[in-house]
């Protein structure tokens, strides 16, 4: 029996794997939920079916090279690796190191994320590395860094939510995206204190019914003014915790002045949320926070991609943090603020060097001292480490341009589906001299590759992951690698040798983890006190965990730093920072567009769908994209239930069938983003980015709707 974790979301639910018996030969292993804090033994539909992908008939097991006729043909590993190294050397000699690019993933293990960043900077010598976490957590990271000085999704154990008396949840549909999370909302629901903010009456919003709480349903892209309106009530009605603010935070006066114009009636005009609901919510939060500090149930404010994936996402996160600070919550046992990480290793993946401006341990690539510390571990001079590169959207836009990258390596990402303005991204990838994709299926991005390298799946590899609460977990192998599939650590090690890279590039996960620890030592995300054997023994370890930390692998014992900020925030003066933010509505570029488009996830599918669309039971349950539209809106557009609809704007058009539902707002339609081809929702989304985080505008686009007359 192998104890490991689900390959999907950042809950990293505990599972056990056992070799299948002859009677269970349809799957190579038997998968069951394991009693673990995040999931309590339960799994979602995606988790339960994950083992079916391990021996899927479409699994890639040998390198594939693009032929002159456009087909992909098998080649050997030696030829494939020599080809990658030769292409990299020749392009670098002709156009410089920044003509080479790397695109990583929040699904890679900590070891692979670390080694990929090191490989890009030392073996390729390029600054052009970023990853798909830029599309996921970047606004949350930017907001929490400027407020607290440190970015960890949940700065407290997830289980702390179990005792909550009130939770304000903005922009996250956890009931569909990570169903086991719902168990942690039970306390707030029983207390009548679950408040969900979402333009849709989502599955999570429905949890508020029957006196469990209430649902605020703002106009799309108006979460920022809604938060400003809530904060206005706290200040105007003297409900803010001024004692906490005086003792633990800077910037209250400036934020107070910035809130003057957001009285509830004005906020209601902008957001569509009634003024009385705004007052009710702010007063309830203040009352619950006051009771929590007197020994009552804690209060939490949680955010997700729905409010973060906007061109003002960082400011919206900041407004949510400001609200939590006004209530006196962060850094106390009375509650706090947290952001719900999405990808499986979305937390660990952003800590150790995949981001274009970061080095391992959350170190800044522009800081001379940080560069020197990492250079010592790598055994190189700091000067050879490149400076900051380009964030994901700009990196993809630069591909194939006269001064941009000519070659790219993509690891564990599918930007042809997941990136904004996806048709433009597909064209950019096609313009490259050489595209290398490492994956285990022929995703839509891999299908455009010049060279496809088959890699291991989760149940075939060793390593570590870091979940949404900053807890470091062991991923364990239960199966041998199929065919000629290889570990990405091995691939990077082999390529580093061929490119005469300085430093060590071990193919062994444990050796890479030991180096990662050394490189992170003294950084904000310090793993130096984490021991592989302790993780194997089941120790609960939360970073930062500096060297010398005593670790105990006993039930109920949390090691490292399970709760951040209790003794002070991560700024030099140990105080949090309230930052005034302003709302500027985005101009409507296409006046003929009649409704707002919101994109998101389904219960059955994950990310770009490259995995879940290959699971028969999931594909059958949600085989095609459905456009959620209010019946009155459908009537005004002459759209019938189940009818095909063309959703279009200046960037492209998508076809989906109509699903009429009163869960949608009259002015809003919802489309899932998991599907390829003419169903790719991101053909419509805009590559406009947040000025702080470089997060693209995923969650709001203006579109037109046109019914398609189908032949009878």
Average pLDDT of every residue of the chain: 96
Contacts of 265 (CB under 8 A, 6+ apart): 275
The answer on 353 and 494 residing in a single domain is yes
The answer on 321 and 196 residing in a single domain is yes
Of 128-137, 154-163, 579-588, the poorest mean pLDDT is in: 579-588
The answer on 131 and 144 residing in a single domain is no
Long-range contacts of 383-386 (CB under 8 A, 24+ apart): 384/122, 384/125, 384/502, 385/121, 385/122, 385/359, 386/97, 386/98, 386/121, 386/125, 386/126, 386/127
Find the CATH number of the domain harbouring 641: 2.40.40.20
Is pLDDT of 712 > 90?
Answer: no
Give the mean model confidence (pLDDT) for residues 474-488.
95
pLDDT tens digits for range 113-130: 999 999 999 999 999 999
> What is the reported pLDDT for 606?
94
The rounded distance, in Å, linking the Cα atoms of 618 and 603 is 9
> What is the reported pLDDT for 20?
78
Whether 516 and 526 have beta carbons less than 8 Å apart is answered as: no
Tokens of 234: 């706290």
The answer on 287 and 416 residing in a single domain is no
Contacts of 26 (CB under 8 A, 6+ apart): 20, 52
> What is the reported pLDDT for 589?
65
Share of the chain above pLDDT 90, in %: 96
> What is the reported pLDDT for 587?
74
pLDDT tens digits for range 302-356: 999 999 999 999 999 999 999 999 999 999 999 999 999 989 999 999 999 999 9
Q: Grade residue 296 by pLDDT with cuts at 50, 70 and 90.
A: very high
The answer on 190 and 310 residing in a single domain is yes
Model confidence, pTM:
0.96
pLDDT tens digits for range 258-291: 999 999 999 999 999 999 999 999 999 999 999 9
The answer on 446 and 404 residing in a single domain is yes
> What is the reported pLDDT for 593?
80
Q: Please name every residue paired with 626 in a beta bridge, in sequence order, or none if there are none.
A: 657
Number of domains in the chain: 4
pLDDT tens digits for range 584-596: 987 766 667 889 9
Give the mean model confidence (pLDDT) for residues 36-44.
95
Of 24-38, 199-213, 439-453, the poorest mean pLDDT is in: 24-38
> What is the reported pLDDT for 711?
66
Among the candidates 306, 340, 374, a domain finishes at 340
The answer on 235 and 252 residing in a single domain is yes
The rounded distance, in Å, linking the Cα atoms of 434 and 79 is 15
The rounded distance, in Å, linking the Cα atoms of 239 and 234 is 5
Find the CATH number of the domain harbouring 184: 3.40.228.10
The answer to the question of residue 193 being in a domain is yes
Q: Is the dihedral of CA 43, 49, 55, 60 positive or negative?
A: negative
The answer on 264 and 125 residing in a single domain is no
Among the candidates 288, 308, 340, a domain finishes at 340
Give the mean model confidence (pLDDT) for residues 459-481.
97
Give the mean model confidence (pLDDT) for residues 498-514.
97
């Amino acid at each position: 029996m192998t104890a490991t974790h689900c390959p999907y979301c950042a809950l990293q639910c505990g599972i056990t794997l056992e070799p299948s018996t002859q009677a269970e030969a349809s799957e190579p292993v038997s998968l069951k939920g394991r009693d673990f804090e995040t999931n309590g033994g339960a799994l979602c539909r995606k988790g339960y079916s994950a083992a079916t992908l391990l021996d899927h008939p479409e699994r890639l097991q040998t390198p594939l090279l693009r032929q002159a006729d456009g087909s992909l043909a098998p080649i050997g590993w030696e030829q494939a690796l020599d080809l990658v190294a030769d292409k990299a050397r020749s392009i670098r000699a002709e156009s410089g190191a920044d003509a080479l690019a790397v695109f990583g993933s929040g699904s890679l293990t900590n070891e692979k994320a670390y080694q990929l960043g090191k490989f890009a900077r030392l073996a390729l010598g390029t600054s052009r590395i970023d990853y798909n976490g830029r599309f996921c957590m970047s606004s949350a990271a930017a907001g929490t860094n400027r407020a607290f000085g440190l970015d960890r999704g949940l700065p407290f154990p997830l289980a702390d939510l179990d005792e909550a008396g009130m939770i304000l949840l903005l922009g996250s549909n956890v009931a569909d995206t990570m169903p086991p999370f719902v168990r942690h909302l039970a306390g707030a629901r029983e207390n009548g204190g679950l408040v969900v903010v979402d333009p849709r009456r989502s599955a999570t919003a429905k949890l508020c019914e029957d006196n469990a709480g209430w649902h605020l349903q703002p106009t799309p892209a108006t979460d920022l003014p809604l938060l400003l309106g809530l904060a206005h009530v706290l200040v105007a009605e003297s409900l803010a915790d001024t004692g906490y603010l005086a003792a633990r935070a800077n910037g209250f006066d400036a934020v107070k002045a910035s809130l003057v114009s957001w009285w509830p009636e004005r906020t209601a005009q902008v957001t569509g949320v009634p003024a009385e609901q705004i007052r009710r919510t702010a007063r309830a939060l203040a009352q619950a926070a006051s009771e929590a500090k007197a020994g009552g149930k804690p209060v939490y404010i949680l955010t997700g991609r729905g409010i973060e994936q906007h061109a003002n996402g960082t400011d919206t996160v900041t407004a949510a943090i400001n609200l939590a600070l006004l209530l006196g919550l962060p850094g106390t046992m009375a509650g706090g603020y947290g952001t719900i990480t999405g990808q499986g290793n979305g937390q660990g993946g952003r800590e150790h060097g995949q981001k274009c401006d970061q080095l391992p341990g959350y170190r800044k690539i522009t800081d001379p001292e940080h560069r020197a510390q990492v250079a010592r571990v790598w055994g190189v001079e700091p000067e050879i480490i490149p400076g900051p590169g380009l964030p994901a959207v700009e990196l993809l836009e630069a591909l194939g341009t006269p001064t941009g990258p000519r070659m790219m390596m993509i690891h564990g990402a599918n930007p042809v589906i997941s990136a904004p303005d996806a048709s433009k991204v597909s064209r950019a990838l096609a313009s490259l001299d050489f595209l290398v994709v490492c994956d285990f299926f022929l995703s839509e991005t891999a299908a455009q590759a010049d060279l496809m390298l088959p890699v291991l799946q989760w149940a075939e590899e060793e390593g570590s992951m870091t979940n949404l609460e900053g807890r470091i977990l062991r991923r364990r192998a239960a199966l041998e690698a199929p065919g000629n599939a290889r570990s990405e650590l091995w691939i990077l090690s082999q390529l580093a040798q061929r490119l005469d890279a300085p430093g060590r590039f071990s193919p062994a996960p444990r050796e890479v983890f030991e180096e990662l620890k050394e490189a992170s030592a003294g950084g904000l995300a310090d793993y130096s006190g984490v021991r592989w054997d302790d993780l194997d023994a089941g120790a609960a370890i939360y970073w930062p965990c500096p060297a010398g930390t005593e670790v105990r692998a006993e039930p109920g014992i949390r090691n490292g730093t399970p709760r951040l900020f209790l003794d002070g925030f991560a700024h030099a003066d140990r105080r949090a920072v309230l930052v005034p933010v302003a709302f500027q509505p985005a101009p409507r570029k296409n006046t003929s567009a009649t409704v707002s488009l919101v994109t998101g996830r389904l219960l059955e599918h994950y990310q770009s769908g490259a995995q879940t669309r290959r699971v028969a039971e999931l594909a059958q349950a949600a085989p095609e994209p459905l456009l959620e539209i209010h019946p009155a809106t459908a009537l005004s557009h002459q759209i019938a239930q189940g009818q095909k609809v063309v959703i279009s704007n200046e960037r492209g058009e998508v076809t989906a069938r109509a699903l009429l539902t009163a869960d949608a707002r009259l002015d809003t339609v919802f489309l899932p983003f998991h599907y390829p081809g003419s169903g790719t929702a991101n053909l419509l989304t805009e590559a406009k980015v947040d000025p702080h985080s470089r997060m693209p505008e995923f969650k709001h686009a203006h579109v037109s709707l046109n019914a398609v007359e189908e032949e009878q």
